[in-house]
Homo-oligomer: A and B are copies of this chain.
Amino acid sequence: MRKLRLGMVGGGQGAFIGGVHRIAARIDGQWELVAGALSASPDKARASGAELGLDPARTYTSYEEMAAAEAARADGIDAVAIVTPNHMHAGPAVAFLHAGIHVICDKPLAATMAQAEEIAQAARDSGKLFILTHNYTGYPLIRQAREMIAKGDLGDLRLVHVEYVQDWLAEETDPDNKQADWRTDPARSGAGGCVGDIGTHAFNLASYVTGLETERLAADLDAFVPGRKVDDNVQVLLRFKGGAKGMLWASQVAVGNENALRLRVHGTKGGIDWAQENPNVMTFTRYGEPRQMLTRAGAGATPAGLRGTRTPGGHPEGYLEGFATIYAEAAALVRHANDGTPLPEGVHTPDIEDGLLGMRFIAACIDSSSKDAAWTDL
């Protein structure tokens, strides 16, 4: 099978998540980066393309130009990865979808609900794939947890606790810190700061693993750092359809935490506990029995838990491998869409519906918080 051809919008020199997408795309050998509009600055776009070994003819200085040119080529890209700040997702997403090119897009879906709906409309109209990189769903033990819950290992779910806490924005932002700068600027990140950047990851993970539908939430958003224009801490009570309850905490000011995403789910028959910073272990307890330490690809691994693994238990896989699974499954979906190549079992990725749900989550949190944490429908 030929490698699929990938284009990229954003991700030029100095960017963070673009490099992550490129590694993720490489790991399983399914994708080859062949084109890019890597920066809004023409010079930087060209320098970045050269550094990545792109053909100068396919190093574009605008995404509009790139969408048109690539759509016209016989060897045009199979998909584009959009790795720009949030307010710059909708433009390229719509352009590429309209050009008939599948889209892989970083999260959250957009900076505003209007942009999000534009993208959704374009996705529907085009019939092309829209894949959102909620990468934490790619962890094997997360897949396993989802499967275990679906087949009833935890019984009826009662409780969902998810938290995603960091401390890198605990002080005033250095304007030279590019990552911090746009994330704390509502014009670029959207109205949500922490809630959009990592709160959506937490919410997506909880929804993905449990399959529960959130009915209402009550949210308290804070901007603890003086002068900050977006929230940097989010506390949410969740009520799920069917009666389960949840709590969600996301923070960028919790000193002592790097990237502490943790999910706990409790049902009538069992409970699980998983933390992203050591993602190769998950605690699982059947009621009344000793706690088990399940390991990635170790004893007790389920089919879904084994599907995305590349190495035996004890050989830790991490963030990049989880991200790579999104790209590997995107490849399978693209091949299937392109020429009907059969889909391997279990292939699925976060999609436009997940993206819209995330946007509604952000909006509901902001709305609730503005009303003194009143209950707000999702």
Contact = CB atoms under 8 A, between A and B. Distances in A.
Interface of A: 1-3, 16, 19-20, 22-23, 26-29, 52-53, 154, 158-159, 161, 166-168, 170-171, 218, 220, 222, 224, 233, 235, 237, 239, 245, 247, 249, 251, 253-260, 264, 266-273, 276-280, 283-295, 298-300, 310-321, 372-373, 375
Nearest to A316: B318
Contacts of A321: 318, 320
A305 to B, nearest CB: 12
A373 B368 CA distance: 13
22 contacts: A1-B53, A3-B53, A19-B310, A27-B27, A158-B233, A166-B314, A168-B312, A170-B268, A170-B287, A222-B245, A233-B245, A256-B266, A256-B272, A256-B283, A259-B315, A276-B314, A289-B299, A291-B292, A291-B293, A291-B299, A317-B320, A320-B320
A358 to B, nearest CB: 20
A96 B191 CA distance: 60
Among A171, A267, A284, A311: residue with most chain B CB under 10 A: A311
A266 B170 CA distance: 10
Contacts of A251: 159, 266
A270 B287 contact: no
Among A233, A284, A315: residue with most chain B CB under 10 A: A315
A85 B251 CA distance: 40
Given A158-B222, A277-B280, 9 more contacts: A22-B29, A26-B29, A166-B314, A168-B312, A171-B268, A255-B266, A255-B287, A256-B283, A315-B318
Contact of A292 (B158, B170, B292, B313): B292
Contacts of A280: 277-278, 318
Copy number of this protein in the oligomer?
A: 4
Contact of A220 (B29, B237, B278, B294): B237
Among A255, A312, A319: residue with most chain B CB under 10 A: A255
Nearest to A291: B293
B295 A293 contact: no
B298 A161 contact: no
A239 to B, nearest CB: 8
Contacts of A319: 311, 315-317
A258 B313 contact: yes
Nearest to A313: B258
Contacts of A260: 314
B288 A299 contact: yes
Contacts of A312: 16, 168, 258-259
A3 B168 CA distance: 35
Nearest to A239: B220
A218 B237 CA distance: 9
A283 B312 CA distance: 21
A288 B171 CA distance: 10
Contacts of A373: 218, 237, 375
Nearest to A139: B316
9 interchain residue pairs of minimum CB distance:
A259-B314, A258-B314, A256-B285, A316-B318, A256-B271, A255-B271, A315-B319, A318-B318, A290-B292
A271 B168 CA distance: 13
A235 B247 CA distance: 7
Contacts of A53: 1-3, 29
B19 A23 contact: no
A226 to B, nearest CB: 10
